[in-house]
Amino acid sequence: MSALALLTALLIGPLLLGACGSPATDGPPDAPTSAPSSSPPSAAPSSAAPSSAAPSSTAPAPDAEPPVAAGSSADLEVDGRPVELAVPAGYDASDPAPLLVALHGFGDSPAGVDEGLGLRDEAARRGMLYALPEGTPDPAGRLFWDAADACCGFDAEPVDDSGYLAEVIRTIADAYAVDPARVAVVGHSNGGFMAYRMACDHADLVTVAVSLAGAMPADDGACSPSEPVTVVQAHGTADTVIAFDGGGTPGGDYTSAPGSAAAWARLDGCADEPRDAAGALDLDTGLAGAETSVASYAGCAAGARVELWTIDGGSHSPSLGDAFAHGVLDVVADPTAAAASGAGR
């Protein structure tokens, strides 16, 4: 059997057993045959501070009726697709709120990534708007994001998910007071690939990208953000689906977890080498002790931060506890803070 055929069999096989790429249970994400090209357009990088041109921090008109009331959640429709939006109870249009967008994995769902990442309650407690958009069904009915050649528009028509998710952010910002300095995209697996795609394409909108078990393309030229973006790459060393050390699918290659963080360190103008934070984090409740080490890059442009969270022994879909939500939302709340292992995590 050829190497390509073996890789395809390994990736497709679990799909045929009905697994999905949810963080709650190990499953395939990023599978099979061919993928449409989805390389971001090239743009000159800049070290300027993050732009506030869009979304605007100006509060909506006082007489504007928000589509979802404070303290509740409901579906919006953006370009014909549902987006669940949860508005915190303390939302005040005179006080711009952070926006957190969570992206599911290949074959997963908004409900699946919501449960697996466990961000909802902590986002509400911290007064953050929380959005759960939905990908497009492929011919087999599996939801996907057209994020990169390596993942995951296999056997499907190309979809401008980058443009769509930018419209999701703008739609929410038109109806709510969104803090433009705290707009985060957090994704698992295919959603992690898509979080990176959004940071590459829409650094004027996205200030934080968190990728759990996703990766950057192997091609360094595939990403040219217009300005610095704070990035966290979280990855299990025992991930057998999207390998910690990098690899490929029939659609294309992806880089390693350390390589993904290093790529953003270069894009953000950070120091060449990361430094290890003191102590460790206990992110995966299925593993004993504090299993996650944190390495951070110093000196990034415009105060951005780049961190690698290495989950020693973690699988593709780790069992995430409250510490993961605390750690991610600490970054969203203060994207320019230096890494501080254990602080609020």
User: So where are the chain's domains?
Assistant: 43-52+68-333
pLDDT at position 309, please? 98
Q: Is 139 left (phi over 0), alpha (psi -120 to 50) or beta?
A: alpha
How much is the pLDDT for 52? 38
Q: What is the pLDDT of residue 17?
A: 28
Q: Using CA atoms, how far apart are residues 38 and 53, in angstroms rounded to an integer?
A: 26
Q: Which CATH superfamily is domain 43-52+68-333 in?
A: Alpha/Beta hydrolase fold, catalytic domain (3.40.50.1820)
Neighbours of 289 (CB within 10 A): 9
Q: What is the pLDDT of residue 218?
A: 93
- Tens digit of each residue's pLDDT (9 = 90 or more) over 31-47: 433 333 333 333 333 33
Phi, then psi, of 85 in degrees rounded to 5: -125, 125
At residue 23, the pLDDT reads 59
For the whole model, what pTM was predicted? 0.84
Per-residue confidence (pLDDT) for residue 44, from 0 to 100: 32
Question: Could you tell me which residues come within 8 angstroms of residue 253 by beta carbon, excluding any fewer than 6 positions away?
Answer: 150, 217, 218, 219, 246, 247
Q: Which of 246, 306, 231, 245 is nearest to 272 (CA)?
A: 306
Residue whose structure tokens are 């998910």:
161
For every residue of the chain, which 3-state class applies, written as one string? CCHHHHHHHHHHHHHHCCCCCCCCCCCCCCCCCCCCCCCCCCCCCCCCCCCCCCCCCCCCCCCCCCCCCCCEEEEEEECCEEEEEEECCCCCCCCCEEEEEEECCCCCCHHHHHHHHCCHHHHHHCCCEEEEECCEECCCCCEECCCECCECCCCCCCCCHHHHHHHHHHHHHHHCCEEEEEEEEEEECHHHHHHHHHHHHCCCCCCEEEEECCCCECCHHHCCCCCCCEEEEEEECCCCCCCCCCEEECCEEECCHHHHHHHHHHHCCCCCCCEECCCCECCECCCCCCCEEEEEECCCHHHCCEEEEEECCCCCCCCECHHHHHHHHHHHHCCCCCCCCCCCC
Give me the residues of the chain with pLDDT under 70, please: 1-63, 338-345
User: Per-residue pLDDT tens for 229-262?
Assistant: 999 999 999 999 999 999 999 899 999 999 999 9
Distance CA 200, CA 223 (A): 5
